Amino acid sequence: MKLSLQLTALVLAQALLGDALPRAHVEKRADGPQFTKGQPIDGKGKGAVILGGTNQQIDLQNPDNLGQQSTDNGVVPNLKWSFSDSKTRILKGGWVREQVITDLPSSHDIAAAQQHLVKGAVRELHWHRVAEWGIVYNGSILISAVDEDGQYQVETLNYGDIWYFPKGVAHTVQGLGEENEFLLVFDEADFDKVGTTFNVDDWIAHTPKAVLAKNFGLDASVFDNVPAPNPYIFNGTVSSDENVTTTDGAQQLSGNASFVYRTFDHPPEKVPGKGGEFYKIDSTNFPASKTIAATFVRLEPKGLREMHWHPNAEEWLYFHQGHARATVFIGNTNARTFDFRAGDTAAFPDNSGHYIENTSATEDLVWIEIYKSDRVADIPLTQWLALTPAHIVAQTLKIPLAVAQGLKKEKQVLIQ
């Protein structure tokens, strides 16, 4: 009797749900596409409401993950990571949060971090087994570095200024403004593995004091207070001395040997397509940067970074401002569209076809492109087709010959 009642209740529940849920689906479909409302419904008979566990805010921020683009196809791995999903390490004087290969496995060449220093705070003296590239996007910092020949550089950097330290170069960074923040990029995806970063106090704390005394010609007691474990970031004070170095004749790096590039002291690249600004920073204008090439891009509302691919490297991206969309074509009919906003990073596979679109009607889109290469290189789709015999293009794409003949032969880069 008890079992019979349970079965009856189950049947009634299924009947009620089975009758109610389809009506909800039909009502949603009748309203047209629901992607921007966080529902995978195209308004043409495909899809249905999400009834199980979901993060509505993430769904709303990523309508293309819900199937909005009917041209998406096949299996494309996740190519996106947000710094907001990274573990933030908070320290006295600031914080840091990273994106490494364990966060974004599609990034085989590049790791990155956002780092914040309050006024006077110091990212302690260190060096890396890999190259470090950085750009200031808030405040002002002091960088100092020494190379293998005893040449040094001490510079104040502000918004848009860039530095590049080759692997093994000793360096440090100090915050000069009240609040200072910058993007760090490394030409090694597995940046957290042992043997990548070497902090000076960590080394000294793990060296016998008798050896330290002999090495420096000092009493061993001098090293009694060396921090252990190392603090990574610590509070300090900004020097009031304009000459913060005591080099006594050592040669300062400058000109083509400089580790610093001041982006906005140079004109942007000439962009035939208009629609924004495009700065290229690589070994052709920043000779020290031999393993990391970059672009700084500002794209006007509704603008497009034209369809293209990069023949020499993966593309790693950091979106600093605005809202964007990009479809990445990885070959063999496989393509996937991603939505981006400030704080997102991405890694597009080597030679994959893609575009970047500013989806805002009012706000500029600002982002940085990074390549593990000595130069920035891309091949635009339109220019390729325009410089191919028109009759072949027309026959391949099934378009009128006149259209193929009229394609722009000059690289556009940005389109408005």
Token pair in block for residue 17: 């749900």
User: Rounded to whole angstroms, what are the CA distances from 382 to 234, 271, 308, 404?
Assistant: 51, 15, 8, 10
- Give dist(CA 278, CA 416) in Å, integer: 13
Nearest to 156 by CA among 244, 252, 233: 244
- Catalytic residue numbers read 369
- Phi, psi for residue 350 in degrees, rounded to 5: -50, 125
Q: Which one-letter DSSP state was computed for residue 252?
A: B
* DSSP state letters, 32-80: ---GGGT--B-SSS-B----SS--HHHHHH-GGGGT--TT-BS-----E
User: Tell me, what amino acid is at 384?
Assistant: W
User: Residue ranges of the alpha helices (H) in 232-355?
Assistant: none
Asked whether 126 and 236 are in contact (CB, 8 A), the reply is no
Residue 218, Cα to own-chain centre: how many angstroms?
45
Q: Is 178 annotated as a binding residue?
A: no
| Spatial CB neighbours of 403, under 8 Å, sequence gap ≥ 6 | 394
Q: Is 410 annotated as a binding residue?
A: no
Q: Is 266 annotated as a binding residue?
A: no
Q: Is 315 annotated as a binding residue?
A: yes
- Give dist(CA 281, CA 297) in Å, integer: 11
Q: Is 128 annotated as a binding residue?
A: yes
* Chain length of the chain: 416
- Give dist(CA 412, CA 393) in Å, integer: 19
Q: Is 116 annotated as a binding residue?
A: no
User: Tell me, what amino acid is at 130?
Assistant: V
Q: Is 132 annotated as a binding residue?
A: yes
Asked whether 317 and 367 are in contact (CB, 8 A), the reply is yes
Token pair in block for residue 143: 């960088």
Asked whether 154 and 144 are in contact (CB, 8 A), the reply is yes
User: Rounded to whole angstroms, what are the CA distances from 216 to 41, 169, 198, 315?
Assistant: 70, 21, 19, 45
Asked whether 172 and 123 are in contact (CB, 8 A), the reply is yes
Feature table: binding site for Mn(2+): 126, 128, 132, 171, 308, 310, 315, 354
Feature table: binding site: 126, 128, 132, 171, 308, 310, 315, 354
